[in-house]
């Protein structure tokens, strides 16, 4: 049993924004896609035979959220194999109707339960597939001399004749002089504030503003080169790491309660603007400055944490640690996983893992960092024995 179809492939195009990840990987003839397929098949061959059918079905799902979750489980299984652990899939838990994703063993001794979690932002999902289709259609614009910086607002209620929209943009671009615009940029006092040529179109309720930036002379000007180099909805958004972490912590603690072994949650945050600092703030409270007036008249300032964190020692003691990954996908296995040991837990995690590790101790109901305890932390690619340039 294999994940991908065994067939000849001749499709060397870039992936489309509305295209399911599995469909692109399964059909692409590009070298990086072939490398990803080979790597995933190797990992899949190490997955327990009795569990492969379910995992294969989720990896082949047209829903990218299902694909991302299944890929993360496949990666975690392989990662712990490389670290010398044995992994049992969906182990039975005495007195519980539900089963964790993994039970991890070392030298045949159970070490901890592991739950995989990939948070998905459900806000504004309605009509996003149409936005992605519009993006793909606009990338068909013939623009050999300009790159396009696009900002959109609203959501299209339906698709329109995109060939008409493309023709309108191409006619506008044809009236522009790339040399004149390039000279305007070069002579501007502040190139970050230069006024570029602008054109707007309304696509069934979705207004797209195009700005034209001259392509460098050395750039690829063939008709197949994608013209859109920036695509944003123009909204200022906050990175809501806290809601995702609160949801998974409360759900898992409620689901399993106190277990026989430590419970670890592995989370792959796909948000490009999130990170370890945001996660720690969400767990233990936002950083604040506490000022105290001394008898001498001096002001003593120190950093403390506000009491707006999710983690509560009396409520979440069943959770031993969080293992954090950032934007991991078949195309991106960069970075270092980070393990956060939680204080005041019922079962402290004692397994020795060669990954970046930070411990926290409980002080007055707050998590206070002890510091990085692991000087031999490995990157994800090092753990998985992948070359630095992988998948290229």
The CATH number of whichever domain residue 248 belongs to comes to 3.40.1350.120
95 and 48 in one domain?
yes
- Residue 359: the pLDDT is 60
270 and 215 in one domain?
no
319 and 267 in one domain?
yes
Is residue 9 situated within a structural domain?
no
Neighbour tally for 360: CB within 10 Å: 20
Q: Last residue of a domain, which of 232, 262, 284?
A: 232
Number of domains in the chain: 2
368 and 253 in one domain?
yes
246 and 214 in one domain?
no
- Residue 366: the pLDDT is 52
274 and 198 in one domain?
no
Is residue 299 situated within a structural domain?
yes
Tens-binned pLDDT, residue by residue, of the chain (392 aa): 999 999 999 999 888 888 999 999 999 999 999 999 999 999 999 999 999 999 999 999 999 999 999 999 999 999 999 999 999 999 998 888 889 999 999 999 999 999 999 987 554 444 478 899 999 999 999 999 999 999 999 889 999 999 999 999 999 999 999 999 999 998 887 867 889 999 999 999 999 999 999 998 765 555 457 899 999 887 655 556 677 777 888 888 888 888 899 999 999 988 766 677 777 777 888 888 888 888 888 888 887 778 887 777 778 888 999 999 988 999 999 888 988 888 888 899 999 888 876 665 544 445 555 555 555 678 999 999 999 999 98
Residue 69 to residue 61: CA distance in whole angstroms: 11
Structure tokens at 209: 């503003």
Please name which of 276, 292, 296 lies closest in space to residue 284, comparing C-alpha atoms: 276
Q: Last residue of a domain, which of 232, 255, 281?
A: 232
Does residue 173 contact residue 146 with C-beta atoms inside 8 Å? Answer: yes
Is residue 391 situated within a structural domain?
no
Domain span at residue 222 reads: 128-232
Q: Last residue of a domain, which of 211, 232, 253?
A: 232
274 and 164 in one domain?
no
Is residue 392 situated within a structural domain?
no
């Amino acid at each position: 049993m294999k994940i991908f179809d065994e067939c000849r492939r001749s499709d060397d195009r870039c992936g489309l924004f509305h295209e399911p990840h599995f469909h692109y990987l399964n059909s692409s003839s590009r070298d990086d896609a072939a490398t990803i397929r080979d790597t995933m098949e190797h990992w899949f061959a190490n997955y327990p035979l009795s569990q492969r059918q379910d995992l294969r079905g989720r990896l082949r799902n047209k829903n990218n959220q299902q694909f991302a979750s299944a890929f993360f489980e496949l990666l975690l299984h392989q990662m712990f194999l490389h670290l010398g652990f044995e992994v049992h899939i969906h182990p039975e838990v005495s007195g519980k109707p539900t089963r964790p994703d993994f039970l991890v063993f070392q030298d045949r001794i159970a070490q901890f339960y592991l739950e995989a979690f990939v948070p998905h932002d459900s806000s504004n999902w309605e009509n996003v597939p149409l936005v992605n289709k519009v993006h793909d259609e606009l990338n068909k614009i013939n623009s050999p001399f300009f790159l396009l910086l696009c900002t959109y607002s609203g959501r299209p209620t339906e698709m329109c004749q995109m060939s008409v929209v493309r023709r309108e943009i191409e006619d506008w671009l044809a009236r522009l002089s790339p040399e004149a615009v390039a000279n305007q940029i070069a002579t501007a006092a502040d190139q970050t504030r230069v006024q570029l040529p602008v054109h707007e179109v309304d696509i069934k309720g979705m207004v797209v503003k195009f700005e034209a930036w001259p392509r460098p002379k050395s750039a690829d000007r063939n008709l197949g080169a994608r013209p859109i180099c920036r695509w944003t909805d123009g909204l200022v958004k906050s990175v809501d790491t806290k809601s995702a972490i609160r949801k998974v912590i409360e759900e898992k603690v409620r689901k399993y309660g106190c277990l026989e072994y430590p419970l670890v949650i592995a989370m792959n945050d796909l948000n490009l603007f999130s990170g370890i600092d945001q996660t720690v703030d969400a767990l233990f409270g936002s950083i604040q400055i506490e000022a105290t007036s001394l008898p001498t008249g001096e002001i003593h300032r120190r950093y403390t944490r506000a009491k707006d964190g999710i983690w509560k020692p009396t409520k979440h003691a069943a959770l031993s640690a969080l293992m954090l990954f950032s934007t991991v996908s078949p195309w991106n296995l960069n970075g270092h996983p980070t393990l956060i040991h939680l204080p005041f837990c019922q079962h402290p995690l004692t397994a020795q893992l060669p990954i970046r590790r930070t411990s926290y101790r409980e002080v007055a109901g707050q998590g206070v960092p002890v510091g990085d305890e692991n000087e031999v932390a490995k990157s994800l690619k090092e753990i998985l024995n992948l070359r630095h340039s992988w998948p290229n």
